[in-house]
Structure 1
């Protein structure tokens, strides 16, 4: 497997220099290519030990859902956090792929008619449109279970304790107290189950579960693979939580301002559906100010690592400045 790209060196304060963002986007694209190739291998048609068969239609639809799109920000965060700490490449790649597969499964199910009812994702038809609803349900199920299979496989991480920490963390971040619970709260905020009025704290809680939990775990997974101490893990979790909050606010701003062509999916649907967002609660200027505050929290959280954390600092700025 190809080794990590070399880290961009930076002097203190260079995060304000535009060139660092150019270096960051190149690095993000490079790592995304590595992740893509790893997942191409995961999703081929070859039957693995312990499997009876890989149904061709299922594999084709899984590849449709996963490959050929997306920034791969979540596995990037896992890989870069582990690299900063000197962790093993193979373990970081597998842990990051596990997070990305959970993310992709959530998109497949979230796009379905019973949920957000979207026709396009990453510039191509959603899985239930390209195939059918039954296939889309099974694709999501298969991606979720494959994520845990990869995360628990000693081929990628020999230490059983680290594997157990990764599986437990991924389950908590993606389950009833994390992403899935947050998705239910998001549907509730639309009034599907009766009238509800969410204040700022309620909105933050919902977003921290639906979007933030997986993003925060992406960073924590890198800390686990990298052998971080308890204090280091706590600092990186602060970074991940703040990054997750900033990502969701930036996403809400984009839903209001970006074009469907730029986003690769329909925009403006959150407002039409009555979804709870901080843009509604704080206004666009207030939401942008909150993004800036959260970037500052990210900077503070990784200050102890100095220049080694430059990529994580740039990731926070990329998150709030992205256009798609």
Structure 2
């Protein structure tokens, strides 16, 4: 049961427990390959396993616990979400995009392997994720599996994360206002966070009202998360964040920090965090870990 991972634990303990369970699930779902395709599978495992906050999988598992979803189905969805997230980081780090050398404290995939293998590894992670969501072990009801696949496709595709990445590339060449930056980050970061929060409700066949509350929570959490990401890029170090910093300023790219300034950006993130917490009132103390996440994003250093 999911209670074994979550109940009686503070946020740090729960994050570690869920992270270990998700890693074990990823290890099973991405087994090493013995044939000539082994390098791409090794790169997929390198990208997905052994590092990272696992925040999105944690949101998926914690939200699933609100609706009585079983351990194995919840962890499969969480692992699929981490595969999609890992794919996005692999491609985001490529020379054609951010040209980053460091991710999660290690060389990026195209540095550890090569650029072509990194592209294929990202492709492999994305397609494997949809295979996991569509598998009968994820839910016994085919309609629920179809809804999971559709929601993930919308969050990850051109109306979500991929579209947001396109706008992010455009932001390096033309100045965007605060409205465009907010839309960029909602698509690039927020939509997958929203899917992570809603996936458990989909699995649990929840009513419209709690699903709406989780989506509203995720919307504010996602924006707060991205503002803090911009603050870390402006103020953090590679040692703290585990990735390259200062790239936005080097490229002259508009961000929440460049438009609002550091203090106003920090205040906006705090306001969004408080607002996210209020959306969870209907869940009483069952959503305390989700409330803790909203506060955690303000103080994270990686």
TM range (shorter): over 0.9
Please give the secondary structure, in 1, of the residue aligned with 2:97: coil
Q: Is the Cα contact below 8 Å between 2:160 and 2:188 reproduced in 1?
A: yes
Shift of 1:85: 2.1
Which ranges in structure 1 are unaligned for 5 or more consecutive residues?
10-22, 48-52
Residue 175 of structure 2 corresponds to which residue in structure 1? Answer: 197
Shift of 1:181: 0.4
Q: Deviations over 1:258-281 (max 9, x none)?
A: 110111111111111122211111
Q: Is the Cα contact below 8 Å between 1:2 and 1:34 reproduced in 2?
A: no
Please give the secondary structure, in 2, of the residue aligned with 1:85: coil
Q: Is the Cα contact below 8 Å between 2:2 and 2:61 reproduced in 1?
A: no
Equivalent residue runs for 1:137-152 within 5 Å = 137-152=119-134
Residue 29 of structure 1 corresponds to which residue in structure 2? Answer: 16
Distance 1:54 1:247, change over 3 A: farther
Equivalent residue runs for 1:200-239 within 5 Å = 200-239=178-217
Residue 40 of structure 1 corresponds to which residue in structure 2? Answer: 27
User: Are residue 7 (structure 1) and residue 25 (structure 2) matched?
Assistant: no
Shift of 1:3: 6.3
Shift of 1:54: 7.5
Measured in 1, the distance between the counterparts of 2:219 and 2:17 equals 25
Equivalent residue runs for 1:156-305 within 5 Å = 156-191=138-173, 196-305=174-283
2:99 to 97, 110, 117: 117
Q: Is the Cα contact below 8 Å between 1:74 and 1:96 reproduced in 2?
A: yes
Measured in 1, the distance between the counterparts of 2:4 and 2:156 equals 27
User: Are residue 64 (structure 1) and residue 51 (structure 2) matched?
Assistant: no
Residue 12 of structure 1 corresponds to which residue in structure 2? Answer: none
Which ranges in structure 2 are unaligned for 5 or more consecutive residues?
none
Q: Is the Cα contact below 8 Å between 1:66 and 1:101 reproduced in 2?
A: yes
Shift of 1:226: 2.5
- State the 4+ residue runs in structure 1 displaced beyond 6 angstroms: none
Measured in 2, the distance between the counterparts of 1:143 and 1:46 equals 14
Q: Is the Cα contact below 8 Å between 2:56 and 2:196 reproduced in 1?
A: yes
Distance 1:280 1:69, change over 3 A: same
Measured in 1, the distance between the counterparts of 2:39 and 2:2 equals 30
Aligned length: 302
TM-score between both structures, scaled by the size of structure 1: 0.90
Please give the secondary structure, in 1, of the residue aligned with 2:138: coil
Measured in 2, the distance between the counterparts of 1:118 and 1:6 equals 35
Please give the secondary structure, in 1, of the residue aligned with 2:66: helix
Shift of 1:140: 0.4
